[in-house]
């Protein structure tokens, strides 16, 4: 008996503890107008409740669900495991507290297939818009539709702000896995996306594909503390940001160098080690006093938060 053909799309969700929003995401997948997909759920060390819920969906068989549990190591490790498991040509990564609009997968794939075949190898995928629960847009629309550029140009040159969501080629995600797998914590998504930007562009379309729910216990709400706790990865992000070949403003590069110094100090990296890594020692030295001052302020805030 031959093996079933792989799905076109893998929906990948790194899950952690929350069941109610995960059920809403599941319902949005059941409602999809495009059905040739699998759902890979990588549980990042939750208790039994999440596992029982997802296993019930595996047993129900209404959609193809793959469930894997790992010890709590962070979203970045869960994403890497999910990409390894993905059988689809494309992968869309969606958090457990978000959900798709009913034609999201169909429309994203449609826009990819509209692209001439000879151009596709230069693109990582197709990116659409997100809305809040009340229907208002998250951030900005794209300058035109479609709009082709890399993710660094989108954010730093065209200054398009706000979360976006899309469908990426699985082979590109495998080419650019999240680093710092041995670090339990948080890796800024843009560290990976900026690396992709050095090789691939994205197609951007002004169509809503995802509904965002920013919860009080979510990563977005805890980002400042997570950045400090995961300082080695955070400092690497700002180091690479400071060295991007794109036309960043002088102010933006200065902020990158200052934040590199700030989070390097949190990571225990001394000034000699920092200076060896930077491309411009003059720019780093000029930004160092600001970075050191913000680092000191961080330490005061952390001490107050811990009651010391």
Residue-wise pLDDT for 190-213, tens only, equals: 999 999 999 999 999 999 999 998
Beta strands in the chain (DSSP E): 9-15, 37-44, 64-70, 90-93, 99-100, 123-131, 147-149, 165-169, 201-211
pLDDT, mean over the chain: 94
Q: What share of the chain is helix, strand, coil (3-state, %, to 5)?
A: 45, 20, 35
Which residues are registered as beta bridge partners of 210?
A: 100, 130
The C-alpha atoms of residue 135 and residue 145 are separated, in whole angstroms, by: 20
Percentage of the residues of the chain whose pLDDT score is greater than 70:
96
Specify the DSSP class assigned to residue 156: I
How far from 231 is each of 140, 195, 228, 268, CA to CA, in Å? 29, 19, 5, 9
pLDDT tens column, 63-115: 999 999 999 999 999 999 999 999 999 999 999 999 999 999 999 999 999 99
pLDDT tens column, 34-71: 999 999 999 999 888 999 999 999 999 999 999 999 99
For residue 221, the model assigns a pLDDT of 44
The C-alpha atoms of residue 181 and residue 144 are separated, in whole angstroms, by: 37
For residue 18, the model assigns a pLDDT of 85
Domains of the chain: residue spans and CATH: 9-211 (3.90.550.10), 223-305 (no CATH)
pLDDT tens column, 209-229: 999 988 665 555 467 788 999
For residue 308, the model assigns a pLDDT of 61
For residue 305, the model assigns a pLDDT of 79
What does DSSP say about strands 9-15 and 90-93: parallel, antiparallel, or unpaired?
Answer: parallel
pLDDT band at 24 (very low <50, low <70, confident <90, very high): very high
Nearest to 143 by CA among 153, 155, 127, 158: 158
For residue 258, the model assigns a pLDDT of 98
pLDDT band at 304 (very low <50, low <70, confident <90, very high): confident
């Amino acid at each position: 008996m031959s093996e079933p053909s792989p799905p076109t799309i893998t929906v990948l969700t790194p899950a952690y503890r929350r069941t109610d929003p995960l059920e809403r995401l599941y319902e949005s997948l059941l409602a999809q107008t495009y059905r040739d997909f699998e759902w890979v759920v990588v549980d990042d060390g939750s208790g039994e409740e999440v596992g029982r819920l997802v296993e019930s969906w595996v047993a129900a068989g209404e959609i193809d669900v793959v469930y894997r549990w790992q010890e709590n190591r962070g979203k970045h490790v869960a994403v890497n495991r999910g990409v390894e498991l993905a059988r689809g040509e494309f992968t869309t990564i969606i958090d457990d507290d978000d959900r798709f609009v009913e034609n999201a997968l169909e429309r994203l794939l449609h826009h990819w297939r509209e692209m001439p075949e000879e151009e596709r190898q230069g693109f990582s995928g197709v990116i659409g818009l997100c809305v809040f629960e009340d229907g208002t847009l998250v951030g900005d629309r794209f300058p035109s539709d479609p709009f082709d550029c890399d993710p660094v140009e989108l954010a730093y040159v065209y200054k398009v702000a706000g979360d976006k969501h899309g469908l990426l080629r699985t082979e590109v995600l495998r080419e650019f896995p999240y680093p710092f797998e041995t670090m339990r914590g948080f890796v800024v998504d843009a560290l990976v996306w900026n690396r992709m930007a050095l090789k691939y562009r994205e197609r951007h379309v002004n169509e809503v594909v995802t509904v965002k729910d920013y919860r009080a216990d979510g990563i977005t709400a805890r980002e400042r503390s997570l950045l400090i706790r995961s300082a080695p990865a955070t400092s690497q992000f700002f180091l690479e940001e400071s060295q991007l070949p794109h036309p960043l403003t002088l102010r933006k590069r200065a902020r990158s160098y200052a934040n590199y110094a700030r989070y390097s100090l949190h990571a225990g990296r001394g000034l000699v080690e920092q200076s060896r890594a930077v491309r411009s020692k003059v720019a780093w030295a000029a930004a160092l006093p600001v970075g050191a001052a913000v680092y000191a302020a961080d330490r005061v805030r952390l001490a107050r938060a811990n009651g010391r």
